[in-house]
Structure 1
Amino acid sequence: MAGNVDTDKYYVEKEEIAVDSDDEFVYEEVPVDDDPVPPELEEDLDAAVRTLREANEDADARLQREPPPKPAVVQKPEVVDDFVRNFLIHMGLGRTLDCFQTEWYELQEKGLLKYNEIGTVPDVYTRNQEMENEIEFLRKEASKYKNAALKAKETYVKLRKERDFHRMHHKRVVQEKNKLIDDIKRLKRHYSQYAPNMEALKARYEAAMKEKMLANLERDRAVGQVNGLQSTIKSMEGFHGSANKENKTEAKGPTQTALLLERQKKALGSDGDVADLPSNFKRYPNDSEFPVDNGVNPYLNQVKAPPGHVTRTGGFRLSNTFSAHSHPISGVALHPRKQILATSSDDHTWKMWAVPSGDIIMTGEGHSDWVSDCDFHPAGSSLATTSGDSTVKIWDFSKAACVHTFTDHTAAVWSCSWHTCGDFLATSSMDNTAKVWDINSLRCRFTLRGHADSVNTIEFLPFSNTLLSSSADKTMSLWDARTGLCAQTFYGHLHSVNHATFNLRGDTIASCDSYGVVKLWDVRVVAPMASFEVGPHPANKLAFDPSGGVLAIASNDSTIKMYEIGTGQIQSLVGHEDAVQCLCFDRSGEFMVSGGSDSTVRIWS
């Protein structure tokens, strides 16, 4: 048994294994920027770091919940002979490999190789190989991260330079802004010193213009009185002899005036027939007499069609614009003899302006609601205005105040028109009526009833007792102002008639409705001559030029349509920024004035 005892001895030999390190790699140190980071950037960096940490925590938690998958390939340790063969093959030692295999098989056949000698390769070699592979992988990763760090450093330097540039630019902009603010404050302080002076100068200018206008009116009145006195003196000198004869006749018996008064007293005190009254008897002594309607318009001889009037529709150009009111302008009127314009507005006021300069002359305040229309007295000494407060006011320029208010209408009053003689004023109202007012007796002479809806406009034919009304009941009517009776009614519109007007000859009527349909009517045959559309926007106002060849139409689409009656050509004048509410030509036809909802007055010449 002793001979079979394994006498081989084993010794534990201490071996030093060289540990690879990364000391041979020289890392470049990235200097820390000492510049303070702006608070907003620091907050953004903290938020980014916080987001990354949360993402890493979520990834770790997910890995803990899910066990890592098992590798598909299980690596088994190599045996000694395979390890040697692989080493020799790897080193290219072919003859050595042949010798090794021959001797190895001989020893294996002889049984001289023991199990522990031909077992697996010790773990230390395998571990060294794995660590070498890992070191090589880490070296590649370190090189990759180094390149990324260098690239990030370059990006950071670039962003830092851009930040410094933008910070410097921002500081410069802030400095310029502060400088501009200081300049604006200084200009405001400087301007505030001039504002009171400007207001005072403006008030003095308006007062001077008012005094100038009043002086002109007084001068005109004085000239008229002088002319009247001169004519009276001449007539008295001419009839001096006949006056003496009349005085002798008066001494013999009662005067004709005394007899007339006695007859009036008897008529008023008795129940006799009206026929007993004298032909010139007046129940209201202050009532005015309507002038004789001879149908003669003296302005026709003064009007001459301008050369090339066929193309007159395209001859108007915008020459001046000024802001007249704070609210839309509802009416415009030109002075009969002077370059003065009156405007009425929804801001409850009316104003007078010098045209074409646009200098203000006078402002009238007194209506409690929007002022719908205005019209100059034929003598130019007063102005009539209508309003949504159901009143009609007469303003005297010499007194610079309202001298009378008519209150008989029961609804908003839309328009007004003076008789050429200046003793009568016609108005139209939303109460479905129109009225004729006597300026001398200050009473309503006639109420024109017949329309079934609001009477939108009323207009006197110049030098005539004929009135033209247009209504929301889609009709127009001709009235005799002396009797208050309707003489003729025009039918044809399918929508509310917004305005109707005569041409200067009085033989043609133009009308427009709320759908943009415009019609021309022959007064003699009471039939339409032409009909055309400028809609679908409403047509608000119409005006013939003095020659009667051009019709201007104020449209709700912020344009003025110029219609050539002879050719039917239509052109648009563009300038207003909102609906055009009113317009009128001057008496010579050289320029046109328009007002609109944009609160401006525009002069076209």
Structure 2
Amino acid sequence: MDTVPVSPPKNVEMEKWTDKNSKTYVLESVPDLFQSDTDDDYLYEEIPIEEFEDDKSDTEDENLEKTVRNITERKFFEENELDLKNIEENKDNVVNTTKESEVVEDYIRNFFYSRGLKKSLETFQEEWYEFKKKGNLSPEDSVIVPDVYVKNQKLTDNIQKLRTNIEEYKDIANKAQSTFEKLKKERDFHRMHHQRVVQEKNKLISDINRLKNKCSKFEPMIEGIQKKYETAMKEKMLTKLDRDRLAGKILSLETTITQLENLIKENEDKKVNNSRISHSNLNSKNMLNEIDNTNNENNNNNELTINGSPINNTKLSHKRGISGREGIIPIGNRQNPYSNMDIQPVNVSQMSMIQNIKGHDAAISSMKLHPKKKILATVSDDKYWKMWAFPSGELIMSGMGHSDWIADCDFHPKGGQLATASGDSTIKIWDFLKGQAISTLSDHTQAVWGCAYHDLGDFIVSGSMDHTAKLWDIQMEKCKHTFRGHSDSVNNVGFQPYSNIMYTCSSDKSISLWDIRTGMVTQTLYGHNNSINCGAFSIKGNSFASCDADGIVKVWDIRTNVVLTSINYGPSSVNKISFDPSGTILAIGSDDGSCKLFNCNTRTNIRSLDEKEESVQTVLFDNNGEYLIIAGSEGYYQIYK
């Protein structure tokens, strides 16, 4: 039999696939896809589509398309080669192992046997052998059956399979192409969106710069207005003080006139009356001078008096220290006017914040209330001291003269002066009517942590980092006595109310009580294990409390040096403590940003005010127990009522 090649050309289907997949796809622009939905007045710059067609990334997209096509083609050829290889291997295996060329009769026998045609097979064999025996079969009838038919059949099956695979690859390629086009459109959309965001950003930057320029123009105006406001408040305060002084003069004059009228009515004799009137006029003149001198005491504070009687009506120089009168420490303790009063404890459980005022640009280190008027003084690390209307929070007066932070302050008992202690190692005394510092005490060699007036107003005590405390004579502007005994910094000083007993709290973990007349230690309190930050007497003078850097607060019995109560608020340091007017409630300011309120009688915690994010530096009850003031490191102070 003749063999006829029936395998198709190998490259026919591949060329069709290549032609079909080599088409050029054009991305149509959709203008509506990128239109903005917003109705703002801002005019955006037009961004044409062609701007992105020349982008370098387009070349990358074309390379991506070619890469996908190459991968698909490579996969197709690899599978075809694999099939052909399998066919060749199977062919080699048949030839080399079991399959041999068949003759015609064996082919027919195998056909009948495989189909189960046993009778036909028997009939064929009988006839076949009979013809072969008779010689009726030609040599051509016994030749080997060619394998070309088998090969053609296998090739036909392989072609069909390849066509099926081609169709599948076409579907995959079409899906990839559509996905690629979709991603390309999204890319263009996001590019345009990015360009719009850039334009909006540039517009916002220009607006911010314009607003900054406006603000820079407003700042000098605001500073000028602030200075004018402070000046006006200072003048207002001075006017109030002058008004009070004049009111006192008027009251004294009215009293004098009344006395003169009574003298005139009592005199019956005309000559005697005239004489007495003349004498009364002289007395009236002297009384007016006395009233004037008494009411000007806050202006010069240089009038020399003994037991309230003037010994010299001549006004001296405003300069301190030249009056020639040295301050005299009283021999004994004075009667405490609050000792016999029955003062009720403050109901702190009902207190709520009524004011939150920005007082300073740095931490507020101390506060004091005016002894006679509703005025609050604050000092800060920003080197300023300020006076505020209380509790409204209006700024009345401010001053700056220290070259370093201010740690403490105290009002003169008569209210006309303020003493401030600073890190520049000095204590300054400020006169409100003069509007300036009238004295600077500078014998300390290191920072001054605390200062306090004696209740008679002639002396100031101060505590310093140089391990000493000093008693200052205000009239003479000199140190009257230096108290040495601590081995570390003296952090806080003060007086027992209406007495000559001074206390000092030190970093050497001890508290000393001193008699300012002798300069000797009368008692020393031990019990703290870390630096003592603050101490405080109650207004009655019968309770004393102290606090340290470990957060320990102790209440002492001064008579026996025994600790009555010890409370642990650690590990945060306790910075300041303050008694209410009854001496029962203790306010405790801590580094953890809270102010604890403790009842010393029941020895229980009442509540905790946790309004601050930073540490509480100082706390203070007012003299009536109506308000509680808390100040901290952020420069704000809060008023609770």
Q: What band does the TM-score fall into relative to the shorter chain?
A: 0.7 to 0.9
Q: Does 1:422 align with 2:416?
A: no
Q: Given that residues 218 and 398 in structure 1 are in contact (C-alpha distance below 8 angstroms), is that contact kept between their aligned partners in structure 2?
A: no
CA distance in 1 between counterparts of 2:169 and 2:67 reads 22
Q: 2:621 aligns to what?
A: 585
**Partner secondary structure for residue 298 of structure 1:** coil
Q: Does 1:74 align with 2:97?
A: no
Q: 2:635 aligns to what?
A: 599
CA 1:225–1:422 in structure 2 vs 1: closer, same or farther (change >3 Å)?
farther
CA 1:511–1:109 in structure 2 vs 1: closer, same or farther (change >3 Å)?
farther
**Partner secondary structure for residue 444 of structure 1:** strand
Q: Given that residues 565 and 603 in structure 2 are in contact (C-alpha distance below 8 angstroms), is that contact kept between their aligned partners in structure 1?
A: no
Letter in 2 for 1:427: S
1:92-491 equivalence runs, <5 A = 112=137, 114=139, 118-119=143-144, 121-122=146-147, 124-156=148-180, 159=183, 163=187, 166=190, 177=201, 180-181=204-205, 183-185=207-209, 187-223=211-247, 285-291=324-330, 293-299=332-338, 304-305=343-344, 309=346, 312-491=347-526
Moved more, 424-433 or 94-103: 94-103
Q: 2:271 aligns to what?
A: none
Letter in 2 for 1:207: T
How high is the sequence identity, in percent, across the aligned residues?
A: 43
**Partner secondary structure for residue 208 of structure 1:** helix
CA distance in 1 between counterparts of 2:638 and 2:410 reads 18
Q: Given that residues 388 and 397 in structure 2 are in contact (C-alpha distance below 8 angstroms), is that contact kept between their aligned partners in structure 1?
A: yes
CA distance in 2 between counterparts of 1:54 and 1:466 reads 101
Shift of residue 121, structure 1, vs aligned partner: 1.6
Letter in 2 for 1:296: Q
Letter in 2 for 1:79: E
Q: Given that residues 352 and 640 in structure 2 are in contact (C-alpha distance below 8 angstroms), is that contact kept between their aligned partners in structure 1?
A: yes
Count of residue pairs the alignment pairs up: 543
Q: Given that residues 333 and 500 in structure 2 are in contact (C-alpha distance below 8 angstroms), is that contact kept between their aligned partners in structure 1?
A: no
CA 1:375–1:128 in structure 2 vs 1: closer, same or farther (change >3 Å)?
same
CA distance in 2 between counterparts of 1:205 and 1:558 reads 32
Moved more, 226-235 or 452-461: 226-235
Q: Given that residues 412 and 429 in structure 1 are in contact (C-alpha distance below 8 angstroms), is that contact kept between their aligned partners in structure 2?
A: yes
Q: 1:31 aligns to what?
A: 25
Q: Given that residues 313 and 563 in structure 1 are in contact (C-alpha distance below 8 angstroms), is that contact kept between their aligned partners in structure 2?
A: no
Per-residue deviation, residues 96-134 of structure 1 (Å, max 9, x unmatched): 877766666666667856499633525x44443332122
Q: Given that residues 459 and 469 in structure 1 are in contact (C-alpha distance below 8 angstroms), is that contact kept between their aligned partners in structure 2?
A: yes
Q: 1:504 aligns to what?
A: 539
Q: Given that residues 413 and 427 in structure 1 are in contact (C-alpha distance below 8 angstroms), is that contact kept between their aligned partners in structure 2?
A: yes
CA distance in 2 between counterparts of 1:602 and 1:54 reads 76
Length-normalised TM-score, structure 1: 0.76
Shift of residue 292, structure 1, vs aligned partner: 5.7
CA 1:291–1:105 in structure 2 vs 1: closer, same or farther (change >3 Å)?
farther
Moved more, 211-220 or 457-466: 211-220
Per-residue deviation, residues 497-519 of structure 1 (Å, max 9, x unmatched): 21111011101101111211111
Runs of at least 5 residues in structure 2 that lack an aligned partner in the other structure:
30-48, 78-84, 264-275, 284-321
CA 1:527–1:18 in structure 2 vs 1: closer, same or farther (change >3 Å)?
closer
Runs of at least 5 residues in structure 1 that lack an aligned partner in the other structure:
1-9, 61-67, 245-282
CA distance in 2 between counterparts of 1:55 and 1:159 reads 20
Q: Given that residues 432 and 453 in structure 1 are in contact (C-alpha distance below 8 angstroms), is that contact kept between their aligned partners in structure 2?
A: yes
